Structure 1
Amino acid sequence: MEKPIGEITHYYGHLGVAIAKFNQAVKIGETVHLKGAHTDFTQTIESIQYDHKDIESAKKGQEVGIKVGEKVREGDKIYAV
């Protein structure tokens, strides 16, 4: 069983950006699986922002914006692939 590494806390549909809180460090280039009741897709993290500034990685416990290729919902889980 996969163990979640984070969770979606908000989604900005007009931007295609999800706010995610990670419980471990992640960086650009890592592949993640986003899964929820109506969500199920895998993608590579191509962009991470903190406080509207591009960053290379997110620290454990940090809430960051990530660009997502599909709609996600609050509460969706993020898994490492």
Structure 2
Amino acid sequence: MDREIGKVIHWYDHASVAVVKLAHPLKVGDRIKVSKGDHEFEEEVGSMQVNHEDITSGKAGEEVAIKLSQRTKEGAVISIVE
């Protein structure tokens, strides 16, 4: 079962980067599912940044930038694939 951990609050199309407001911790290497409406995909978190600084994990309440392989939209739900 997937566990929701955050939502996309901004999407940078030119860089394929989603800014995610985390409700639960997330770390590089976690497998996530991105879903909005009938569009969803899974991938492993390869890198994350806060304020343009690379980080290995994000805490609940933080806004982290995650590079994604597919485009998404603001409001998309981010879940951990367990």
TM-score by length of 2: 0.93
Partner of 2:8: 8
Residue 36 of structure 2 corresponds to which residue in structure 1?
Answer: 36
Alpha-carbon shift at residue 39 of structure 1 (Å): 2.7
Q: 1:3 to 1:27 in 2, by over 3 A?
A: closer
In the superposition, the TM-score normalised over structure 1's length comes to 0.94
- Percent of counterpart pairs with the same letter? 35
RMSD: 1.2
Structure 1 runs of 4+ aligned residues shifted over 2 Å read none
Instruction: Name the structure 1 match of 2:74.
Output: 74
Gaps of 5+ in 2: none
- Alignment match, 2:63: 63
**Unpaired stretches in structure 1, ≥5 consecutive residues:** none
Task: Describe how 1:49-60 pairs up with structure 2 within 5 A.
Answer: 49-60=49-60
